[in-house]
Amino acid sequence: MNEMMKLILSLSISGSILIGLLLLIKPFIKHKLSKSLQYYIWIVVLLRLVLPFSFEESILNDLFNRNHFFAYMSSQGQDATNSNVELGHSNPILSPNTEANQTSEKLKGDADHSLIRMFEQSILYIWLIGVILSLTIKLKGYTRFTKYMRKTSKPAFEWERRMFGLLLNGRRNKVKVVRNPYVATPMLIGILKPTIIIPDTNFNEIQLKNILLHEITHLKRFDIVLKWFSMIATSLHWFNPLLYFLEKEINHLCELSCDEMVISKFSSSEKQQYGETLITVASNERYPVGLQATFSDEKTILKERLMAIMRPSRKSKFIVLLSVVLVAVVVFSAMALGANVGGSTSKIMSSKSPIEPPSILILHERNPDPIDNYKILKWSWDGTKYDQQGFYQTAWNSEPTLLTGLRRLKPEEKISVDFGTNTPDKVTVKMAYLTESYDESLLPIVEVPFKSVDGKIEFINPPGAISDIQTTGRVYSITAVWGQNSCEYVFASDGKFDQEEPGQ
């Protein structure tokens, strides 16, 4: 799977789990916890959906990278099921296939690989088209709306601008306050050049003060930035229907928590006046743009806001404890779920991966001295894939370095390979008989079963080839994988014993 799609999908899954959790407990916390706390908890979910931060040990990162080796081998056009062995398990020696069968299998693998690649590319393009369409529609609507607002707005009255300055204590003088005859509810728009738009209606001093306090609270909390953040998240995850519940909840709680902050120091009579102001400017219109912070809202939500205003706030020890526990659970869950960070950077390594392919010790039971004449071929390392020759061709083309001073390994004797402290995630062992052909072995390549003992792998040297084809030696391949890093160790042996009859 394409790394970008793996990242997006893992973020979407993490966010969906958190959304489901919050929707599940919503009936129990709706009237118990403060609206501001609920609002910021949903912001944590929004961050989880957009920011690709994750620990390597997170659930989603582990899930998406657990089978990375099979994905890598598939990308090389090989059959991962047949050619890879988990460390600690073994497969029986494959029966020799004819050259025609090998060619047929290779062509079939290449065809399957091409189809998978085409499917992955199609999924990526569909996702990108969806993101572009979603962003285009929303930004076009917002641009058209703001352009119309600028064209039809006029400066607020002098006493309205003066009250606004007093409420801000003279700060943020660049914020504009304008009137517009085509809006039915006050709103705040713009990030770099924020503007408060109020209906071109006669408000009394108390009403205007409540309206401006509400919009100033939106301004101080950077709610417009969060609305843009929410818009980007829903565009990136346009395929996930739960994101639209998230956006609705955030917008809803944004207004409720803003009301809560405005009236936090109000007396009962001031709260009543604030509620009456809400009713006065209540609008039946809904603004599809979604990138402005409004004072009023649709009737059903307006009713809830009025009830929340008049409901006495409770801060018992139980409520405080419940708030702390909920925040901790959501934050911990967001971190534990994580995302596929393996696909978000160019360096794709597991937590156990060495910096470079490590040296190994190759031993056989008839000689205590290790075989130190071997070659390391990188296949995929630190996000870079390498084009290498096959291990058979490597043995021939590296002459004399690899085929000089060969050990004479006997058929059916034990060979062990020690990786030291760098135990691989997966290992494959193969052996090919060296023949008169320089390009490709005239005899089938044999997969060799092995067992794992304390980081070492042990295998039995395959028996001699049952064939009339003359063999001159053997070449061995040990493929080791750490995360998405993989390399191949190639060594060879003399073929003297292959020419002897068993028992000699």
**CA atoms of 186 and 180, how far apart (whole Å):** 9
**CA atoms of 188 and 255, how far apart (whole Å):** 12
Burial of 498 (0-12, 13-18, 19+ CB in 10 A): buried
What pLDDT, on a 0 to 100 scale, did the predictor assign at position 352? 66
**CA atoms of 195 and 176, how far apart (whole Å):** 5
What pLDDT, on a 0 to 100 scale, did the predictor assign at position 137? 93
**CA atoms of 171 and 169, how far apart (whole Å):** 6
Tell me whether the omega of the peptide bond preceding residue 400 falls within 30 degrees of 0, making it cis. yes
Backbone angles phi, psi at 503, to 5 degrees: 95, -10
Which residue, chain included where needed, has tokens 């062509």?
107
**CA atoms of 290 and 138, how far apart (whole Å):** 9
Q: Are 380 and 486 in contact (CB under 8 A)?
A: yes
Q: Are 427 and 84 in contact (CB under 8 A)?
A: no
DSSP secondary structure code for residue 359 in this structure: P
Amino acid letter, 35: K
For residue 27, how many other CB atoms are within 10 A of its CB?
Answer: 8
Helix (H) or strand (E) holding 375: strand 375-381
Q: Are 218 and 291 in contact (CB under 8 A)?
A: no
Q: Are 372 and 458 in contact (CB under 8 A)?
A: no
Q: Are 456 and 418 in contact (CB under 8 A)?
A: yes
CA proximity to 256, closest of 204, 200, 217: 217
- CATH of 349-499 among 3.40.1010, 1.10.1760, 2.60.40, 1.10.260: 2.60.40
What pLDDT, on a 0 to 100 scale, did the predictor assign at position 52? 86
DSSP secondary structure code for residue 498 in this structure: G
What pLDDT, on a 0 to 100 scale, did the predictor assign at position 351? 46
Q: Largest alpha-carbon pair distance within the chain?
A: 111
pTM for this predicted structure: 0.60
What pLDDT, on a 0 to 100 scale, did the predictor assign at position 173? 67
| HEC string for 252-310 | HHHHHHHHHHHCCCCCHHHHHHHHHHHHHCCCCCCCCCCCCEECCCCHHHHHHHHHHHH
Q: What is the DSSP track for 124-137?
A: HHHHHHHHHHHHHH
Backbone angles phi, psi at 77, to 5 degrees: 80, 25
Q: Are 427 and 450 in contact (CB under 8 A)?
A: yes
Mean pLDDT in order along the chain per 10 residues (504 residues): 80 93 90 89 93 81 59 40 39 41 50 68 90 94 91 92 86 83 88 90 90 92 92 94 91 90 89 87 55 60 75 73 88 87 43 83 88 91 89 82 79 92 90 87 90 86 86 92 92 79 48
What pLDDT, on a 0 to 100 scale, did the predictor assign at position 86? 42
Beta-bridge partners for 446: 431
Q: Are 456 and 419 in contact (CB under 8 A)?
A: yes
Which residue, chain included where needed, has tokens 């001073």?
405
Domains of the chain, residue spans: 3-83+109-342, 349-499
What pLDDT, on a 0 to 100 scale, did the predictor assign at position 231? 92
